[in-house]
């Protein structure tokens, strides 16, 4: 059992979202997985296991500081990267199948990038008045900047506030506290010539109810992309930026295939590999 540190979605190394990936984690129970996740302090840590589904190449359990998630985006790409770097060979060349809480998720290699197929949204539609008011409080946005407020849940319970501009996104001043389980994100179109198309920010509440801003968020980008493509707000492909307020510089590639599938891609880089975990080893 050993730990890799992987940077996901960074424009360069250590400018994306860090992820801890534990290999051969079958001896750990959920409490130990959560304890390590909280100790590392990243937005998520993942644990690689043999697949239970014969169609999968590997199985992963995904934890954030307040518990286990059925799906998350940057952990999907980072876990796949670590599995491949550790000698994993997919059953189908160029396509890796991950088993997680939402079922099977395809990941494909696109040059030196990895991209996952966005899972179906489990909740859509407008936020209620009460949900909208709480999302505004949590994110600290200017109410006048909101174009729409909708659910884009796909495992995490993301609520999207689509704003007038990238500047409105960057101007938001989030609250310090919210109920555990809060997932609120912002998206606004970038000005021409920015080098990307949308600016995103994402906020969640940890196990203590403290608001944290996620550096770069695959699941939120997946939900936003599905909403934008479905409503004709984007076509074909676009690039999103995220993380500037956290010191990161994330770039996410979003693409819709002819069959309607949405793919979320980015760069992964191994920062450290093979750290043993003797304190967690069972005797």
Mean pLDDT across 246-266: 96
Q: Is the dihedral of CA 47, 52, 56, 57 positive or negative?
A: positive
Question: Is residue 123 included in any domain, yes or no?
Answer: no
136 and 225 both lie in a single domain: yes
Element holding 167 (H helix, E strand): helix 166-171
Residues 6+ apart with CB under 8 A from 176: 210, 211
- Cα 133 to its chain centre, rounded Å, is 24
159 and 247 both lie in a single domain: yes
Least confident of 110-114, 186-190, 243-247: 110-114
How many Cβ atoms are within 10 Å of 106's Cβ, its own excluded? Answer: 16
Characterise 248 by phi-psi region: left (phi > 0), alpha (psi -120 to 50), beta (else): beta
Question: Is residue 247 included in any domain, yes or no?
Answer: yes
37 and 88 both lie in a single domain: yes
Residue 17's pLDDT is 96
Q: Residues 201, 245: contact at Cβ < 8 Å?
A: yes
Domain range enclosing 93: 2-117+266-280
164 and 252 both lie in a single domain: yes
Number of domains in the chain: 2
Q: What's the pLDDT tens digit per position in 55-83?
A: 999 999 999 999 999 999 999 999 999 99
Question: Is residue 122 included in any domain, yes or no?
Answer: no
**What secondary structure letter does DSSP report for 143?**
G
Q: What's the pLDDT tens digit per position in 87-141?
A: 999 999 989 999 999 999 999 998 889 999 999 999 999 999 999 999 999 999 9
Looking up residue 15, the CATH number of its domain turns out to be 3.10.310.10
């Amino acid at each position: 059992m050993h730990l890799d540190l992987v940077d996901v979605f960074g424009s360069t190394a250590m400018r994306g979202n860090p992820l801890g990936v534990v290999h051969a984690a079958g001896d750990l129970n959920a409490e130990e997985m959560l304890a390590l996740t909280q100790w590392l302090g990243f937005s998520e840590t993942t644990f690689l296991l043999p697949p239970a589904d014969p169609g999968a190449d590997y199985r992963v359990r995904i934890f954030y500081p307040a518990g286990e998630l059925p799906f998350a985006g940057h952990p999907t790409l980072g876990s796949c990267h670590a599995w491949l770097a550790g000698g994993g060979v997919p059953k189908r060349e160029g396509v890796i199948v991950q088993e997680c809480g939402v079922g099977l998720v395809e990941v494909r290699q696109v040059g030196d990038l990895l991209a996952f197929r966005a899972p179906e949204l489990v909740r859509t539609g407008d936020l209620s008045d009460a949900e909208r008011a709480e999302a505004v409080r949590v994110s600290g946005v200017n109410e006048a900047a909101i174009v729409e407020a909708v659910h884009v849940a796909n495992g995490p319970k993301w609520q999207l506030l689509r704003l007038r501009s990238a500047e409105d996104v960057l101007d938001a001043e989030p609250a310090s506290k919210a109920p555990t389980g809060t997932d609120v994100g912002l998206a606004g179109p970038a000005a021409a010539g920015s080098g990307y198309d949308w600016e995103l920010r994402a906020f969640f509440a940890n196990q203590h109810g403290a608001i944290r801003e996620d550096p770069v968020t695959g699941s939120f980008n997946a939900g936003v992309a599905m909403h934008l493509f479905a409503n004709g707000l984007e076509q074909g492909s676009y690039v999103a930026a995220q993380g500037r307020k956290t010191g990161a510089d994330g770039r996410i590639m979003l693409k819709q295939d002819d069959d309607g599938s949405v793919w979320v891609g980015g760069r992964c880089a191994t920062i450290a590999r093979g750290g043993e975990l003797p304190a967690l080893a069972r005797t």
